[in-house]
């Protein structure tokens, strides 16, 4: 069949449309964002993660000319918020500020997870971490160091109660890591949040706990002493307090956070978000507010964040399975 002039014109129009489509998309990505961006925080308002989100994303919005709207979607150990973002359109208009649980430990802790942290997200950057501090009520527990604590636990297996803000939290897993490395047994007393756990430590209902530095520093009075930090070396905010790693080499635990978008979000959008984030956290006034809240600022490439998520997932999977910790 011989092509007609009309057929040729139609073919040319189709080729033109095909040729211009990627350019149109490229322009759309270059102009991103052109409407408000939703940022899901999988915790209730008022905590450290929420503080970070409202400070940093407000300035990112100012830099990019669009509002970044914080949506607190708490529940199921961050899984509700994470699942919502995993299922969102990969257009850059839905982001997640997740944490250790979201990206590393929940995949092992929960029998069923409706998202895969490795395949359902496009990492943007690591964003921050909180140092973990071991606090002891010395009226309840007469110890002044990790060596003292381990010796007491060996003398009375299971006789030392420790508090945490919840089953499977970074604070719980840090204590389980110590238990496994030291070869001792403690008794876990989980609470529904940090406030009641700290309250019972102060009142002497429990003797010891790991908690984040921002919370710990406000409790250091009377019988409440910091005897160790979970960072690999001494923490600047607590000079003279030894790292657990000084007695158990390789011991390290943090509560960390990172920013992701749904999987398959275009690379130019991820790059723009990463670059804007780096610019914002380099601002002296932003840095001062974050460090003043006890947050160590992190930044990374997307690939570096993906590698860190996998490394942390593998590390804590061993701890969780050894301790047989399970959540529904």
Q: Which pLDDT tens digit goes with each residue over 278-310?
A: 999 999 999 999 998 889 999 999 999 999 999
Greater confidence, 70 or 236?
A: 70
How many Å apart are CA 14 and CA 43, to the nearest integer?
A: 49
Question: Quick check: 158 and 186 in contact, CB under 8 A?
Answer: yes
Q: Which pLDDT tens digit goes with each residue over 150-189?
A: 999 999 999 999 999 999 999 999 999 999 999 999 999 9
Q: What is the mean pLDDT of residues 261-286?
A: 98
Lowest mean pLDDT among 13-22, 59-68, 262-271, 306-315: 13-22
Question: Which sign, positive or negative, has the C-alpha torsion 72, 77, 82, 84?
Answer: negative
Q: Could you count the other beta carbons within 10 Å of the beta carbon of residue 240? A: 6
pLDDT at 328: 77
Per-residue pLDDT for 226 more than 50? yes
Question: For residue 26, what pLDDT band results from cuts at 50, 70 and 90?
Answer: low
Per-residue pLDDT for 76 more than 60? yes
Greater confidence, 7 or 85?
A: 85
pLDDT at 231: 95
Q: Which pLDDT tens digit goes with each residue over 56-73?
A: 999 999 999 999 999 999
Distances (CA, A) of 197 to 28, 78, 201, 326: 49, 20, 6, 21
Domains of the chain, with CATH numbers? Answer: 29-129+254-323 (3.40.190.150), 131-246 (3.40.190.10)
Per-residue pLDDT for 314 more than 80? yes
pTM: predicted TM-score of the whole model, two decimal places: 0.87
Within 269-317, strands assigned E span: 296-297
Lowest mean pLDDT among 22-31, 70-79, 131-140: 22-31
Q: Which pLDDT tens digit goes with each residue over 80-121?
A: 999 999 999 999 999 999 999 999 999 999 999 999 999 999
Output the average pLDDT for the chain: 91
Per-residue pLDDT for 15 more than 80? no
Question: Quick check: 59 and 280 in contact, CB under 8 A?
Answer: yes
Distances (CA, A) of 122 to 117, 254, 273, 274: 9, 22, 12, 12
Per-residue pLDDT for 6 more than 70? no
Which candidate, 301, 4, 289, 293, places its Cα nearest to that of 127? 301
Lowest mean pLDDT among 7-16, 50-59, 76-85, 287-296: 7-16
pLDDT at 246: 97
pLDDT at 67: 98
Give me 268's structure tokens.
């130019």
């Amino acid at each position: 069949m011989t092509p007609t002039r009309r057929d040729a014109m139609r073919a040319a129009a189709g080729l033109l449309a095909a040729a211009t489509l990627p350019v149109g998309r490229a322009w759309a990505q270059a102009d991103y964002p052109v409407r408000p961006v939703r940022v899901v925080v999988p915790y209730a308002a008022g905590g450290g993660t929420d503080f970070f989100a409202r400070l940093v994303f407000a300035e990112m919005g100012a830099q990019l000319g669009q509002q970044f709207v914080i949506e607190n979607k708490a529940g199921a150990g961050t899984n509700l918020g994470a699942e919502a973002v995993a299922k969102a359109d990969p257009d850059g208009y839905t982001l997640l500020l997740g944490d250790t649980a979201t990206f590393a430990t929940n995949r092992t802790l929960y029998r069923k997870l409706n998202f895969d942290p490795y395949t359902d997200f496009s990492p943007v950057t690591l964003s921050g971490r909180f140092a973990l501090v071991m606090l002891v009520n010395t009226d309840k527990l007469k110890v002044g160091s990790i060596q003292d604590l381990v010796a007491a636990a060996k003398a009375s297996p299971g006789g030392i109660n420790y508090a945490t803000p919840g089953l499977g939290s970074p604070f719980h897993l840090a204590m389980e890591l110590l238990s496994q490395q030291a070869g001792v047994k403690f008794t876990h007393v989980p609470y529904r949040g940090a406030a009641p756990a700290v309250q019972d430590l102060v009142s002497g209902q429990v003797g010891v706990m790991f908690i984040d530095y921002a919370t710990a520093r406000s409790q250091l009075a009377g019988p409440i002493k910091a005897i160790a930090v979970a960072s690999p070396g001494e923490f600047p905010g607590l000079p003279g307090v030894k790292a657990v790693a000084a007695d158990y080499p390789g011991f390290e635990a943090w509560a960390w956070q990172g920013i992701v978008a749904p999987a398959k979000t275009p690379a130019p959008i991820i790059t723009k978000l990463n670059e804007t984030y780096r610019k914002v956290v380099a601002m002296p006034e932003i840095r001062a507010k974050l460090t003043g809240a006890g947050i160590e600022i992190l930044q990374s490439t997307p690939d570096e964040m993906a590698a860190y998520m996998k490394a942390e997932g593998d590390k804590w999977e061993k701890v969780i399975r050894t301790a047989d910790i399970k959540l529904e």
